[in-house]
């Protein structure tokens, strides 16, 4: 199992996804914004990132750019309810895309697939 960083500005989604992924044996750290996500990345090494596209002041694509520019990019799942992200070439830096939903089965499958691919 892996250490995951989940970044989403909606606390209910963070809680749901963190609980579901923890039940699968993952260690999940959460952040409600990109600033906190970057702080956590200074403290921990993550095996996979799950990024919401729409965050409060900044979006997940901006955060993804910063992560890539720092030279540390674990596999990334973009999790969003919007398709407009596909117009931004930065989205190509992600390894997977999942539609945000209360049904976490697709997210769990992608997390497992990417972690298996990484190892």
If we measure between CA atoms, which residue out of 103, 102, 105, 50 comes closest to residue 79? 50
Q: Is the CB of residue 96 less than 8 Å from the CB of residue 114?
A: yes
Confidence of residue 99 (pLDDT cuts 50, 70, 90): confident
* Whether the predicted pLDDT of 89 surpasses 60: no
What pTM did the predictor assign? 0.89
Checking DSSP bridges between strand 76-80 and strand 27-31, what pairing results, if any? Answer: unpaired
Is the dihedral angle over the CA atoms 19, 115, 42, 100 positive or is it negative?
A: negative
Domain 3-108: CATH superfamily, name plus number: Response regulator (3.40.50.2300)
């Amino acid at each position: 199992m892996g250490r995951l960083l989940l970044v989403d500005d909606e606390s209910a989604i963070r809680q749901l996804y963190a609980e579901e992924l923890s039940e699968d044996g993952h260690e999940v750290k959460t952040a409600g914004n990109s600033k906190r996500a970057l702080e956590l990345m200074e403290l921990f090494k993550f095996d996979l990132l799950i990024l919401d596209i729409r965050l409060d002041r900044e979006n997940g694509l901006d955060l993804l750019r910063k992560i890539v520019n720092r030279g540390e990019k674990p596999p990334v799942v973009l999790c969003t309810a919007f398709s407009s992200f596909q117009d931004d070439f930065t989205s190509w830096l992600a390894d997977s895309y999942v539609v945000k939903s209360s049904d976490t089965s697709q997210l769990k499958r992608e997390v497992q697939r990417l972690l298996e691919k990484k190892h």
